[in-house]
Amino acid sequence: MSDQLDGHTSVWLVERTYSDDEQNLIILTYATPDGEQYYRKERALTSFTDVRDTTAAVNAEPNNLGTVDDPDLQEQYAAEAQRMQETHDPDDVI
């Protein structure tokens, strides 16, 4: 079960990738500790002076969460989300 805070769900960073389609775009994927839901953030890397920290966890609105249908991916996300939860505070910069 995912943690709820003020109607938001806590999700943990499980994947950071670069977009193949567009230059200078990072895709951050966060997931619930059970791996059943995910939240995706896209960030443009506009300049070196543009500081936007990536934290270990974020709080997402439930209607912004997607469902992980692939059992292998769900297992991978769960393992990584639990590892992040055990080794980091939610506000840790990653």
pLDDT tens per residue, range 62-74: 999 999 999 999 9
In a domain, 57, yes or no: yes
In a domain, 43, yes or no: yes
Residue 67: domain span = 4-87
In a domain, 93, yes or no: no
pLDDT tens for 31-40 read 999 999 999 9
In a domain, 92, yes or no: no
In a domain, 32, yes or no: yes
Could you tell me which of 23, 20, 6, 8 has the C-alpha nearest to residue 57?
8
pLDDT tens for 37-51 read 999 998 877 655 566
**Averaged pLDDT for residues 13-24:** 82
Convert 20-57 to b/e letters by CB count within 10 Å (16 or more is b).
Answer: eeeeeeeebbbbbbebbbbbebeeeeeeeeeeeeebbb
Domain count, the chain: 1
Tokens representing 71 are 């059992």
**Averaged pLDDT for residues 5-29:** 84
State how far the Cα of 49 lies from the Cα of 3, in Å rounded to an integer. Answer: 34
Question: pLDDT exceeding 90 applies to what percent of the chain?
Answer: 65
